[in-house]
Amino acid sequence: MPIVAALLFLFDSLIGLAILLVIVTAVLSWLVAFDVINLRNPMMYRIVRTLDQLTEPMLRPIRRFLPNLGGVDISPIILWLLLTALKIVVDGYLRPLAAGGAAAY
């Protein structure tokens, strides 16, 4: 079933892209916090702001439930784990369909 394989590839690619965006945003936030990157540079400001706008909708629900850890934000790690778990679950159900067999329940 090539359509299922194509959808599975698209889903895996989107999850991978989301994970990449979360990692890049976290690293950039550390670089900004340690004053390695200066946000007064208009180009860097736009890049950081765009990445924040892309990842904040995914991170905000997680941050609501996390306790205050003294300035340490572990929400990107939790989001990465959740996205990876979602990918594993969806792949587990759809991979047999993509191979042409019935999904195992």
Cβ neighbours of 79 (radius 10 Å):
20
User: pLDDT 10s digit of each residue in the chain, 105 long?
Assistant: 788 889 999 999 999 999 999 999 999 999 999 999 999 999 999 999 999 999 999 999 999 999 888 888 899 999 999 999 999 999 998 888 877 765 555
Which pTM does this prediction carry?
A: 0.85
Q: At what angle do helices 2-33 and 75-98 cross, to 10 degrees?
A: 170
Residue at 105 is within a domain:
no
Tell me the two tokens of residue 53. 């706008």
Residue at 83 is within a domain:
yes
For residues 94 and 103, the answer to whether their CB atoms sit within 8 Å is yes
Residue at 104 is within a domain:
no
Residue at 33 is within a domain:
yes
Residue 5: burial class (beta carbons within 10 Å; 0-12, 13-18, 19+): middle
Q: 90 is in which domain, residue-wise?
A: 2-63+74-98
Q: How many domains does the chain have?
A: 1
DSSP state of 5: H
